[in-house]
Structure 1
């Protein structure tokens, strides 16, 4: 029993196969007619996160539509992560929904109408890749999640609950009787071009409530959709159980164009803007004709061939919700620059003379969407930052914000001050985990006024309120990471610039929910680790001779201690492609 349980916690698989009559089967062992494969690895005791790999197999066949592919991918996630999904729902309910744990009726209506509109427009415009893709992701994937969750033996939940789970970032929870003070999802993002213009380092840190923010699942999904202008769409991102996309988003994407088979390499991040409460809540008197920003962003990742086309897809059928700044870095164009220019001056000339768009900025507030080529600012300043406040004056006016408010955010000063010192991935990682509030004049002794906020360290005095809220993860990428579509990752609150801040402990916050989350000190590990879709999938599914050895040891009664020691050793050996430690250059 002990042996089976521990081995099962390391990795699980699911295969989904289809039949000629349209029915499908699923099994935790390989199927001869498999079209989708899912694989989950539980690394929570080592890194604080699980890893989920999903793939529509390349030989799935053209008869398998994109909506069907989306459904099977969702089913696989729902089945493999069912226990974690149940925990995540419990944490979200306890943190955001108040004492009764129920969604407001207006939120339920929003989800119902939105999903209905996705289905209606798909059937009306079946040749339009946009509607096919948003339907496949926002309706079929979500439905698959609910069905896979139930198939794993858990009480069935309404499909709309999974849609609302994906929409948390765009909902207002002020009308719920929650005790949480900070309910918004926020974050810090930055792109830094190196002095010789040979690389662009990207970083992003997400802020959320610690009541549900540590439910981390790193996802690598090979969608293999066939009805878009791209093929072989692989997206790597930090997410949560049962959540279709990212939260405060950061996506590493790769695909090929459908006709020329040209490689597409984009990194997409966003940070959310604050919204007026009354206007925000009136947005949910939503008539169902628009597509939420989280879904348009995810679909654009699969449809786009560059930053310009990403923005064009994102602008379509927007809903009156979803305020934020999306940044799209085009690493394929950066490779083009490197191929044609060998020095800093020649690279600069090539970019400017050929109007190469490396970075695209999309500032979105309800009906206002401003698309900018951010490359000139990136070249001039050496970096481009996103901190939940628009950089553009026109967009700020929509929120009744001034330039003084932007300058007043200490993150802006910190990023401008320290961002130019970033030379490689390690430097970007340190910048995105920066919190030196006791010594940094920009922070003014407030741990919440930092790149990686720690509201839990506030002293409950001088107008400050301590709250279990702040940085929950950090992601870093560079051109080298695009070679295998991977990213550097760290989960949990920062230990600070000097590695001296105390760890967060749930024992100090007895009322904070943490179903399925380690009750130990966070972060589990302060180090970064690599995550991507690689050979680790294969290495975990093979049942090697160690299983036989374990069985013999157990049968001979040599004791549980031996089993545990060997298991720990093998667990470290079975993850060769995801090294722990601080990021190296690249």
Structure 2
């Protein structure tokens, strides 16, 4: 088990020559579209403009600000393999900040600003833990990044983050903005909010209900619904995911990274996951939701399962562990199949951001293959706890029932028992079981309705909490907007009574839907919907009419009433 943090030292080592840039901005029908090129300046003296026609370009980026039209911004960053990997990684972060620095601040402000004001002692314990990792991480990188692909990719993650921080500072200063300062550490926290949620639980001396009972502490922490569904005639295999998070987190960006990194600094072999498309946020260089499609033909996604056994937090230590949200990107780049992804991800388990991961290897799916003859290793499932990971080929479940659901509950019995979830089931009932919790029963009942993308989207956006008997609870009134595939906790009455807070009125919702298919993944695309679910009985979320309107939501549209979109990438 290990945790990785990288000291703020890459600016010196990466930028051996200064970077030149060219930015082109277009306004089409009120939509801002920006293109940036980064080129090395051989003189190393200053920043200059470049027209983007230099074959020695280091990185280029494109951003389309379509948040008001679709609920999403779209960011694409590509690096040039004629340059070394560390220069590519740093330049990629630099480009992203130049294109989105204003959004980065807004998302940080919405989700992290002021968080530690009432938790100063706890935040300091967490920061101390992260700081102690710096020495160990830098030592591992110094000793192993030239000879081990794993550590080379870890190194590149932090170079990427350093470039993001440097680019943010450059863009802010260019605008003459001295007030919106974000440091490397601020951006690190922005990128590891899933890990932070568990670190706060691990270091909190005030023992109480775990996040699965009370809800998350951090506004950008996520729980989710996911479904992998084989169509009745085996004509397609759908992989879909709903993020569940706070309303504050809904400043969204879809990203495509084209980073032709090598397996090692002196290698000629490019990593399998050199192109990754994913749902994300401003300032984060990983998904966080998590939902990815990679050039290795993999769809990787998770729902958060958490840890409810406080005794396991002893295995979260400041040395020998890599943060989960770093390990995810390392596995996405090095993984060429479900098994290799799982093995890579399992190295240096941090015991933080404990999730159920699913890896769908679309290379092993052939349209029309009978359900009973699906190839082994099509679906790998991994579950993590502090000190323990279990991963298995679960294609047999698809053969047996044509679907794999995921809804924040542990599947493997040993993980379930070790996590302490059984104790919660004994205390609170079926909601904390694997097979009798509301979403398990809804998926079991309704997956048979899926026969095309429209019906799959309908299921993933499903919330009929007022009428569906499976949404009922021992509550007053006797139902909860939490008990649906796509939750809406804001619609629960403020004066309602609930057996535990997660079922009640709180600023928590399904914030999106993503869906890829056997055809779309070949283009590294997915269909997406931004914002909470809405229907005849469920009004669209509107900030100005919400009792949560005073929560920070810089950059958000007022009303979230968006349709499915399939974005056409530039490169």
TM range (shorter): 0.7 to 0.9
Q: Choose from 68, 73, 76 the match for 1:50.
A: 73
> How far off is 1:185 after superposition?
1.4
Q: Match for residue 90 of structure 1?
A: 109
Structure 1 Cα separation of the partners of residues 486 and 48 of structure 2: 42
1:438 is matched with which residue? 466
Alignment partners' CA distance in 2, 1:308 and 1:492? 33
- The equivalent of 1:292 in structure 2 is 323
Q: Taking structure 1 as reference, are residues 216 and 321 closer, same or farther at Cα in structure 2, changes over 3 Å only?
A: same
Query: Could you say which residue in structure 2 is the equivalent of 1:454?
Result: 488
How is 1:50-129 mapped onto 2 (pairs within 5 angstroms)? 50-57=73-80, 60-61=81-82, 64-94=83-113, 96-98=115-117, 104-125=123-144, 126-129=146-149
Deviations 1:299-357 (A, max 9, x none): 111101111110111111121323111100000111xx44xxx663xx744x4xxx531
| Segment drifting more, 13-22 vs 356-365 | 13-22
Given that 1:13 and 1:29 are in contact with CA atoms closer than 8 Å, whether structure 2 keeps it comes out as no
1:263-282 CA-partner distances (Å, limit 9, x unpaired):
x2000001111323855876
What corresponds to 2:224 in structure 1?
A: 187
Which of 304, 307, 330 does residue 272 from structure 1 map onto? Answer: 304
Unpaired segments of 5 or more residues in structure 1?
255-263, 538-586
2:226 aligned with 1:226: no
The 3 A distance-change label for structure 1 pair 220 and 474 is same
Verify the 8 A CA contact 2:130 2:318 in the aligned structure 1.
no
Q: Is the 8 A contact 1:383 1:420 kept in 2?
A: no
Q: Which runs of 5+ in 2 are unaligned?
A: 1-24, 207-213, 473-478
Tell me, yes or no, if structure 1 residue 465 matches structure 2 residue 504: yes
Is contact 1:237–1:252 with CA below 8 Å preserved after alignment?
A: yes
1:168 to 185, 188, 193: 193
State yes or no: 1:150 paired with 2:181.
no
- Give, in angstroms, the shift of residue 109 of structure 1: 2.6
Task: Return the alpha-carbon distance in structure 2 between the equivalents of residues 492 and 209 of structure 1.
Answer: 11
Task: Confirm or deny that 1:39 pairs with 2:62.
Answer: yes
What does residue 506 of structure 1 align with?
543
Assess if the C-alpha contact under 8 Å between 2:411 and 2:434 holds in 1. yes
Q: Does structure 1 conserve the Cα–Cα contact (< 8 Å) formed by 2:509 and 2:532? A: yes
Paired residue secondary structure (1:81): helix
Q: Where do 4+ consecutive residues of structure 1 move more than 6 Å?
A: 21-24, 100-103
Whole-angstrom distance in 2 between the partners of 1:252 and 1:311: 15
SS in 2 for 1:46: helix
How far apart, in 2, do the equivalents of 1:102 and 1:481 lie? 47
Shift of the 90–530 alpha-carbon distance from structure 1 to 2, 3 Å rule, reads same
**CA drift at 1:128:** 0.7
| SS in structure 2 at match of 1:407 | coil
CA contact (8 A) 1:66 1:132 kept: no
Once residues 75 and 101 of structure 1 are traced to their aligned partners in structure 2, the CA distance between those partners, rounded to angstroms, is 31
CA deviation after TM superposition for structure 1 residue 226, in Å: 1.6
Deviation (angstroms), 1:493: 0.4
Note if contact 1:193-1:201 (Cα within 8 Å) is conserved in structure 2: yes
Q: Are the aligned partners of 2:299 and 2:361 in contact in 1 as well (CA < 8 Å)?
A: yes
Counterpart pick for 1:12 among 21, 34, 54: 34
Task: Give per-residue Cα distances to partners, 1:196-224, cap 9 Å, x unaligned.
Answer: 3332111100011112x111011011111
Q: 2:334 aligns with which of 269, 289, 303?
A: 303
Deviation per CA, 1:497-517: give whole Å up to 9, x if none: xx4411222222232111121
Within 2, Cα distance between the matches of 1:488 and 1:95?
35
Shift of residue 93, structure 1, vs aligned partner: 2.5
Counterpart-to-counterpart distance in 2, 1:133 and 1:485: 21
Residue 333 of structure 1, aligned match among 364, 369, 383? 364
For these two proteins, the number of residue pairs brought into alignment is: 499
1:554 alignment partner in structure 2: none
Bigger shift: residues 316-325 or 98-107: 98-107
> Secondary structure in 2 aligned to 1:428?
helix
Q: Give the aligned partner of residue 521 of structure 1.
A: 559
In structure 2, what is the Cα distance between the partners aligned to 1:196 and 1:202?
16
Q: Are 1:200 and 2:237 an aligned pair?
A: yes
Instruction: Give the SS at the match of 1:70.
Output: helix
Q: Secondary structure at the match of 2:469?
A: coil
C-alpha displacement at 1:407, in angstroms?
A: 3.1
Cross-structure match for 2:15: none
Moved more, 314-323 or 295-304: 314-323
Return the alpha-carbon distance in structure 2 between the equivalents of residues 161 and 226 of structure 1: 29
In the alignment, which residue of structure 2 is the partner of 1:216?
252
Name the structure 2 match of 1:140. 159
Secondary structure at 1:152's aligned position in 2?
helix
Structure 1 residue 289 displacement after superposition: 1.9
Structural RMSD (CA):
2.8
Cα gap change, 1:119 to 1:5, in 2 (>3 Å): same
> Are the aligned partners of 2:97 and 2:283 in contact in 1 as well (CA < 8 Å)?
yes
State the shift of 1:73 in Å. Answer: 0.9
Asked if 1:476 corresponds to 2:510, the answer is no
Query: Structure 1's 145 and 39: CA in aligned 2 closer, same or farther, altered over 3 A?
Result: same
Q: Distance in 2 between matches of 1:280 and 1:165?
A: 25
Query: Which string of whole-angstrom CA distances, capped at 9 and with x for unpartnered residues, describes residues 388-446 of structure 1?
Result: 11111111011122385223421110011111221222222111111011111100121
Report the CA distance between 1:115 and its aligned residue.
4.5
How far 1:25 moved relative to its partner? 5.2
Alpha-carbon distance between aligned partners in 2 of 1:100 and 1:314, rounded to the nearest angstrom: 31
**Which residue number corresponds to residue 485 of structure 1?**
524
> The residue matched to 2:108 in structure 1 has which SS?
helix
Rounded Cα–Cα distance in structure 2 between residues aligned with 1:35 and 1:510 = 43
Aligned-pair distance for 1:89?
1.3
